[in-house]
A = this chain, B = another copy of it.
C-alpha cells in the first residue's frame, strides 16, 4: 500500500490546505478509536484530515471515492460503541475544527451549527436568550453536535424533551461522492417527502457526513427543583418510578442508582450515601410546574419509608451532577464493560433480578444506573483482574446474557449509545434478516463503494 498511500496523501495535499492534513503518530493514535473498549492493538488511520469548511469535506470524499479509500468521520470520539474505530486502511475526517455556531435565531428558537460545535458550548451560547439545546448525553461537555447526531444521542433529560432526532430539523450532508445535499426542513413541522433527516440521524457516519445542522431549541426552564430519594431497596425505588408516573409527573431527569453505584460515587466524592439505603432516585423537576410537581412527589411518598431530600437541598443537585458526569467510570477497560439496553419500563425489577442471577452464575460483579424515566439501563459488569480464571470469558458471557435478557423482555440492544462496532453482532439478535438486508440496501444506495465508515452500525 505504500505507493498508493503516498499517492493518496499527495492528492489530499493538492486539494486541501497544508495544515489540515496531519500524519503525526500522536494524532493518528488519538484518532484511531473512540472510548469504546476493544481488545487488540489499535489500527492507525492513513491520515487525519481536519476540514474547516464544507468544501474540504467534499474534496476528501471525492478523493476517497476516486481512490476507494474508507473515510471515518468523527468528532470528539466520546462514543463508547467503537463507532469510529479504525479497522483497516482509512482516512479520518475529524470535524472538530468545524466548530462555528453559524447563527442563533432566538425568535425562531433554532440554531445553525457546524458539526464540531460542542454540545455544552451551544447550550452556553443560547442560554442568554432563555433557550437550551435539549439533548444532553453524559459527555455533553466534550461531545460534538455532529457526533450527537451521528449516534442520535440521548441523555438524561430526553424522556421529557426527546432525543437528538427530535431536535434536528435539517441537515447538510456530504455524500460519499462529494455531493452536498440538504435534507429535512428548517421549520418545527414539515412533512414534505420522506424523513431523510431522521434516516441520517443515528446512522453513525455510514450514509454521509453531516456538515451543518439546523437544530430546534427549547425554552430554558424557569425553575428547577432537584430531589434525591433514598429507598430501602432497588425494588422499592423502581416502585417509586411507577408512583411518580401514576402522579402523571414527567420529570426532566429521573435517574435510578443502585447500591453498588452509590458506593462508587461515595468513594469518588467522599460522601456517605450508602449508609442511607439500598437505592436512589435522582429527580429533576423543571419549568413552571416544578413547584407543584415537587409537592405532588412529597404527597405521593409521604407515608412511605423513602428518605426525600429537603426542598432546595444543594446536595440533590450535586448528586445529579455527579451522576451526569460519570457512571462511576470514564472509560470501560478490559475488565469492566458497561451496557446500554432499553426495556419496557414495567420490567425493570424483573430485569435487574435476571442481571443479578447472571452476575452470580458467572461470578462477576454488577452495578447499574438507569435513565428510569425511559427504561434505558446501563448495567456495568466488572471483575477484579487479580482474581479467578477465565476472567474475560466470564465477563463476556455476563454481558451477552444481559443483552439477551433485555431482548427477551421486549427491549433493545442499545438505548442511546449506538451499534458501532461493538454491538454489531448483536443486531441480528434484535432485527430480522429482512430488516438487516433493507438497511444494507439503503447503505448501498448512498454509498455504493462502501467507503463511509464501513463495517459499522448495521
A residues lining the B interface (CB < 8 Å): 105, 107-110, 130, 151-152, 154, 158-159, 162-163, 165-166, 175, 179, 181-183, 185-196, 198-199, 201-203, 207, 218-222, 242, 245-246, 248-250, 287-293, 296, 342-347, 371, 374-376, 410-419, 423, 427, 430-432, 434-436, 438-439, 441-442, 445-446, 457-458
Contact = CB atoms under 8 A, between A and B. Distances in A.
B245 A189 contact: no
Contacts of A191: 151-152, 154, 163, 202, 414-419
Number of identical monomers bound together in the oligomeric complex: 2
A82 to B, nearest CB: 14
Q: Which 9 A-B pairs have the closest CB atoms?
A: A288-B289, A289-B289, A198-B198, A107-B346, A219-B248, A188-B374, A187-B342, A190-B412, A108-B344
Given A432-B182, A445-B441, A245 B194 contact: no
Contacts of A432: 181-182
Contact of A221 (B166, B201, B248, B418): B248
Given A130-B246, A199-B194, A442-B194, A415 B165 contact: no
Query: A interface, by DSSP: helix, strand, loop or mixed?
Result: loop
A434 B181 contact: yes
A189 B163 contact: yes
Contacts of A293: 288
6 contacts: A108-B345, A186-B344, A192-B427, A193-B439, A288-B289, A288-B290
B198 A220 contact: no
A412 B187 CA distance: 7
Contacts of A107: 242, 245, 345-346
A202 B195 contact: yes
A196 B435 CA distance: 9
Contacts of A445: 438, 441-442, 445
Nearest to A181: B434
B248 A342 contact: no
B344 A105 contact: yes
A336 to B, nearest CB: 22
B199 A199 contact: yes
B427 A193 contact: yes
B192 A220 contact: no
A344 B182 contact: no
A245 B188 CA distance: 14
A446 B441 CA distance: 10
A287 to B, nearest CB: 5
B189 A219 contact: no
A245 B419 contact: no
B193 A431 contact: yes
A162 B166 CA distance: 8
A46 to B, nearest CB: 27
A191 B427 CA distance: 11
A130 B187 contact: no
B108 A346 contact: yes
Contact of A287 (B105, B289, B418): B289
Contacts of A423: 192
Nearest to A457: B193
Given A108-B345, A438-B446, 4 more contacts: A107-B346, A189-B412, A192-B419, A192-B423
